[in-house]
Amino acid sequence: MRAPISTKLLGFDFEVTWSACLILAIIVIQSAGDGSDVGRLLEGVVWCGVIFGSILVHELGHAVVGRFLGLKPVRIVLHGLGGLTQYQISPTPRQGIVAAVSGPLAGISLGVAAGILTLIVPDSMAETRQVLVLLFALNIFWSLFNLLPMLPLDGGFVVLHGIALARGPAPAVQWTRRISIATGVLVGLLGLLVQMPFVFILAAFVVVQNFRR
């Protein structure tokens, strides 16, 4: 099925899947309630813009650094669970580590920039400040979460390439899966304790995917 949005962005093929559009639509609908409150509807649209833009910056971090490393990134895909950057050339372990951390670093950079602007924006621009605070919180949280040692998160690929660099690819895959499962169980339990169902669901997805592999 053809993606509803397909274009070029900084020389990369860029696609937004139906699942991503569905998630964004759900966010807007939930925010809007019965549709009578225009302010809540606009708040949902802003949420979608912040989420969409943050994921895009993250994936552009991977793609731009991948291009610099000679990995020939060919496509950026935004889907229901986040994003994906695809390369023509498989990275070496060292390249893989650099490419993996580039996405979270791009997100952290965006978050820090938003945090600095929050301190500069005058009190009269309260709505702009709220958006900046949202950008800061989302990008710092998600970037740090993404660095946890769990496949298919970026931190899992850092562990995978790090072990491959030290001991070779075969033990790297086995040990990274074990580490991912153990970390996923701990993160899932923590998500339940702090009443963050999204964290629990994502951790459960990580555990199931690594068991299946």
The residue ranges of every structural domain in the chain are 1-146, 148-213
Highest mean pLDDT among 43-47, 105-109, 132-136, 203-207: 105-109
pTM of the model: 0.87
- State the alpha helices, DSSP H only, in 69-168: 93-120, 126-146, 154-167
Q: What is the pLDDT of residue 62?
A: 95
pLDDT in tens, 181-191: 999 999 999 99
Specify the pairing of strand 73-79 against strand 5-9: unpaired
Separation of alpha carbons 47 and 83, rounded Å: 17
Helix (H, G, I), strand (E, B) or coil at 69: coil
> What mean pLDDT do residues 30-34 have?
63
Task: For residue 212, count CB atoms less than 10 angstroms from its CB and return exposed for 0-12, middle for 13-18, buried for 19 or more.
Answer: exposed
pLDDT digits (tens, 9 = 90+) for 147-170: 999 998 999 999 999 999 998 888
Q: For residues 120 and 114, is the Cβ–Cβ distance under 8 A?
A: no
Among candidate residues 148, 154, 212, the one with its CA nearest the CA of residue 184: 148
Q: Which of the 8 DSSP states describes residue 71?
A: -
Lowest mean pLDDT among 15-24, 61-70, 136-145, 167-176: 15-24
User: Residue 89: which of 109, 111, 73 has the closest Cα?
Assistant: 73
Spatial distance between the Cα atoms of 155 and 199, rounded to a whole number of angstroms: 16
The CB density around residue 48, as the number of other CB atoms within 10 Å, is: 18
**Higher per-residue pLDDT: 45 or 102:** 102
